[in-house]
Amino acid sequence: MTALQISSVLIVDDSLVQRSHALAICRELGIEKLHEAGNGREALALLTAVSPKPGLVIVDLEMPTMDGPEFLVKLQELGFDIPVIVASSREQALIDTVREMGGVLGLHVLAAVQKPLQVDVLRQALQNAQSRETRRSSQRTELNIDAAALSDALDRGEIFVHYQPKADIRTGIVRGVEALARWKHPTLGMVPPDQFIPLAERSQLIHRLTIDVMNQSMLQNSAWRARGLHLPVAINLSPVLLERSDLALEIASLQQCHGLTPDQIVIEITESSLVTRVGTALSVLAQLRLRGFGLSIDDYGTGFSSMQQLARIPFTELKIDRSFVRGAPERESLQVILRSAIEMANRLGLVTVAEGVESLQEWRMLQEFGCTLGQGWLIAKPMAGDDLIGWMKQYRVQVGQLRA
């Protein structure tokens, strides 16, 4: 088997033996161009000098002159966008911490493993790097969008909503859905929300977009209700909108127009440092809660001052970011975070939702930790509102295996 399209690798390790071993494994996978460095500083010098840049860096943690963690920080500071594998002979918990650090820095850490490096581990990591590259190049054309295009899209009704079920962790029963905005561009195809939501936030279009999403979601909720399905809808609210002092009133009028009760709506808000008018934001959140809407902290664990926010704002739900869920059964450091987040939320009387549950193993672990709801591909990918009832029918068949 070949090493896919990665043709050059940089190995950073002070041990000659370990370096030779890693080189041999790379050769086994058919990688032709191999660079070596004995510490972080040498590696940076090499990266600056060579062109094209290596497609992967394999880095040790403990090295003289510049160690692995410092090297990773420098890699980010200097703007090198190269996937990394951390390989060390230290204990897995420490290696995991460095991986976490790399992730927080925005680096792409493909794997964090104990030495000696195994050929299968490297092969898998290279495959991951490859699929990331394919994804990125397929997205590249879509970057060609601006505020005018998004505004036209809103006028033409190109923004629509998909719904992803949230299921009870003990029984698998669907308790609600999250509304996720989609943009079907006439020539570019599907533009992912990670691209157009930030654009909307920068260009004052986020208010229009959110109202559009809310209207569609509330209509959908009524349509399901007419068919006997009571599914609260969670709607994402950009923190920048919390600076509009009349927002709670506006959402409440929409909810009344659609003949819904506020408990049918959950508002998901990411922790954010974006909000400048904190007083207004707190007042809007308090009003929403007083009116009976659910309030959820989204992407919990990725933002700042998590505890402070929890204490100040009357949240009803905590959504644990998927970066803490994915791979948790194999990583103790993630389990510690998950368990303590769930325990804390339980004590505060909050519903806990685990995002990005992809495997039955992750599901079982969340069951054991006492999480309330799970959302992720294991249950279903986001889907059109009209498809949900059909999906529910076939889901009833598979739900048995999810029961505790």
Convert 326-370 into a string of H (helix), E (strand) and C (coil).
Answer: CCHHHCHHHHHHHHHHHHHHHHCCCEEEECCCCCHHHHHHHHHHC
Q: Measured over all CA atoms, what is the biggest interatomic distance in the chain, rounded to whole angstroms?
A: 71
Among 34, 46, 180, 229, binds ligand C2E (CB under 6 A): 180
Is 238 a residue that touches ligand C2E (CB under 6 A)?
Answer: yes
H or E element in which residue 393 lies: helix 388-398
Q: Cβ closer to ligand C2E: 301 or 382?
A: 382
Site map 106..145 versus ligand C2E, x via CB under 6 A: ----------------------------------------
Q: Which one of Ca ion, ligand C2E, none interacts with residue 70, CB within 5 to 8 A by kind?
A: none
Q: Shortest approach of ligand C2E to residue 235 CB, angstroms?
A: 7
User: In a 3-state reduction of DSSP, which class is residue 288?
Assistant: helix
Is 42 a residue that touches ligand C2E (CB under 6 A)?
Answer: no
Q: Shortest approach of Ca ion to residue 232 CB, angstroms?
A: 14
Q: With contact defined as beta carbons under 8 Å apart, do 260 and 266 qualify?
A: no
Q: Write out the binding residues for ligand C2E, residues 198-237 only, by CB under 6 A.
A: 210, 213, 236
**Distances 146 to 79, 175, 199, 211, 237 between C-alpha atoms, Å:** 25, 37, 7, 20, 21
Size of the site for ligand C2E (CB under 6 A): 22
Q: Shortest approach of ligand C2E to residue 272 CB, angstroms?
A: 11
User: In a 3-state reduction of DSSP, which class is residue 36?
Assistant: strand
As a whole number of angstroms, the distance between CA 293 and CA 300 comes to: 19
Q: Shortest approach of Ca ion to residue 264 CB, angstroms?
A: 17
Site map 286..305 versus ligand C2E, x via CB under 6 A: ------------xx------
Q: Shortest approach of ligand C2E to residue 162 CB, angstroms?
A: 7
Q: Shortest approach of Ca ion to residue 236 CB, angstroms?
A: 5
Q: Shortest approach of Ca ion to residue 268 CB, angstroms?
A: 4
User: In a 3-state reduction of DSSP, which class is residue 242?
Assistant: helix
**Distances 18 to 25, 53, 83, 86 between C-alpha atoms, Å:** 11, 22, 20, 13
Among 382, 383, 392, 399, binds ligand C2E (CB under 6 A): 382
Among 192, 259, 314, 390, binds ligand C2E (CB under 6 A): 192
Is 341 a residue that touches ligand C2E (CB under 6 A)?
Answer: no
Q: Which one of ligand C2E, Ca ion, none interacts with residue 271, CB within 5 to 8 A by kind?
A: none
Among 44, 129, 167, 181, binds ligand C2E (CB under 6 A): 181
β-pairing, 84-88 vs 56-59, is parallel
CA triplet 12, 13, 18: central angle to 5 degrees? Answer: 125
**Closest among 31, 28, 6 to 131, alpha carbons compared:** 6
Is 327 a residue that touches ligand C2E (CB under 6 A)?
Answer: no
Q: Which residues bind Ca ion (CB under 5 A)?
A: 236, 268, 298-299, 355
Non-local (6+) Cβ contacts of 16 within 8 A are none
Phi–psi pair at 89, nearest 5 degrees: -95, 5
Is 377 a residue that touches ligand C2E (CB under 6 A)?
Answer: yes
H or E element in which residue 219 lies: helix 206-226
Q: Write out the binding residues for ligand C2E, residues 304-323 only, by CB under 6 A.
A: 322
Q: Cβ closer to ligand C2E: 77 or 194?
A: 194
Is 197 a residue that touches ligand C2E (CB under 6 A)?
Answer: yes
**Closest among 204, 200, 202, 180 to 190, alpha carbons compared:** 180
β-pairing, 109-114 vs 174-185, is unpaired
**Interacting span for ligand C2E (CB under 6 A) from 31-39, 286-294, 360-368, 372-380:** 372-380
Non-local (6+) Cβ contacts of 203 within 8 A are 147, 150, 151
**Interacting span for ligand C2E (CB under 6 A) from 105-113, 183-191, 193-201, 333-341:** 193-201
What's the CA dihedral at 26, 28, 31, 32 to 10 degrees?
110
Q: Cβ closer to ligand C2E: 37 or 266?
A: 266
Binding footprint of ligand C2E on the chain (CB under 6 A) = 164, 180-181, 192-194, 197, 210, 213, 236, 238, 298-299, 322, 355-358, 375-377, 382
